[in-house]
């Protein structure tokens, strides 16, 4: 005969078995899930060295870093001034131009629109003398800050250092 205590005992055992099974499946799933994360060879492409000595004022190059494009712009005094002037305005993602550059002359930004990751067009295409993203019409200024359009954030500044006068190293060494 099945008593009430037997039934609750059985319920408990069913529940416990289910819980152990679920934990086991979750544990076994982890290696599968983790296999999608960047592999060691992808992680190893962490830095890019760029020779900036050939850049004329106003000239911009696009360099690959971790498979992503990075804009390196040698800014003209006018472009620097435009960026500094906008410091005082109300910006969607407030940031001082001085905090976004290590040397005012060089702007180094990740060239991926913060909306949906398109590559913005080169300097001078946007409404604020900066970059226009062609996909959904986001305008960035000469400091790579978002000024107009759907993108929520400024173009990110990757970690970079000047190894010497002419060598720029993007990424953490």
Partner 1 sequence: MSKIMEWVDERLPVTELLKSQATEYPTPKNLNYWWNFGSLALLVLIIMIATGLFLAMHYKADANQSFDVVEHIMRDVNFGWLLRYAHANGASFFFLVVYVHILRGMYYGSYRKPREILWWFGIIIFFMMMGTAFMGYVLPWGQMSYWGAAVITNLMSAIPVIGEELVIWIWGGFSVGDPTLNRFFALHFLLPLVIFGVVILHLWALHAVHSNNPDGIDVHDEKDTLPFHPYYTVKDLYGYGVFMIVFCVFVFYAPNFFLEPDNYIPANPMQTPAHIVPEWYFLPFYAILRSIDFLGSFSKLAGVLAMVGAIMILFILPFLDRSPVRSFRYRPLSRQLFWIFVVDCVVLGWVGYNPADAAIFNGALPLIVVGRTCTAIYFGYFFVLWAITAFDIEKHQPVPKSI
Comparing CB distances to partner 1, the nearer of 76 and 121 is: 121
Cα(13)–Cα(24) distance, integer angstroms:
16
Q: Give the pair of three-digit tokens for residue 64.
A: 């690959």
Catalytic residue selected from 115, 136, 139, 159: 136
Q: Rounded to the nearest whole angstrom, what is the least distance from the CB of residue 147 to partner 1 in the complex? A: 12
Binding residues (CB under 8 A) for partner 1: these are 36-39, 42, 62, 64, 66-69, 92-93, 112, 115-121, 133-137, 149-153
Q: Is 115 a catalytic residue?
A: no
Q: Rounded to the nearest whole angstrom, what is the least distance from the CB of residue 39 to partner 1 in the complex? A: 7
Q: Rounded to the nearest whole angstrom, what is the least distance from the CB of residue 23 to partner 1 in the complex? A: 22
CB atoms within 10 A of CB 154: 22
| Helix, strand and coil percent figures for the chain, each rounded to 5 | 30, 20, 50
Comparing CB distances to partner 1, the nearer of 3 and 44 is: 44
Comparing CB distances to partner 1, the nearer of 4 and 32 is: 32
b/e sequence 48-66, b meaning 16+ C-beta within 10 Å = bebebeebeeeebeebebb
């Amino acid at each position: 005969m099945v008593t009430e205590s037997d039934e609750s005992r059985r319920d408990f055992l069913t529940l416990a078995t289910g819980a152990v099974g679920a934990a086991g499946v979750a544990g076994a799933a982890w290696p599968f899930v983790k296999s999608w994360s960047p592999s060691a060879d992808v992680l190893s492409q962490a830095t890019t060295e760029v020779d900036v000595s050939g850049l004329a004022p106003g000239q911009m190059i696009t360099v690959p870093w971790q498979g992503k494009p990075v804009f390196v712009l040698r800014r003209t005094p006018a472009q620097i001034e435009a960026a500094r002037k906008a410091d005082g305005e109300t910006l969607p993602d407030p940031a001082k131009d001085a905090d976004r550059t290590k040397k005012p002359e060089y702007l180094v930004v990740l060239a991926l629109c913060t909306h949906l990751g398109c590559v913005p067009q080169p300097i001078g295409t946007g409404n604020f003398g900066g970059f226009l993203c062609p996909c959904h019409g986001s305008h960035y200024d000469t400091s790579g800050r978002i000024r107009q359009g759907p993108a929520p954030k400024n173009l990110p500044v990757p970690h970079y250092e000047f190894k010497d006068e002419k060598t720029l190293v993007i990424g953490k060494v």
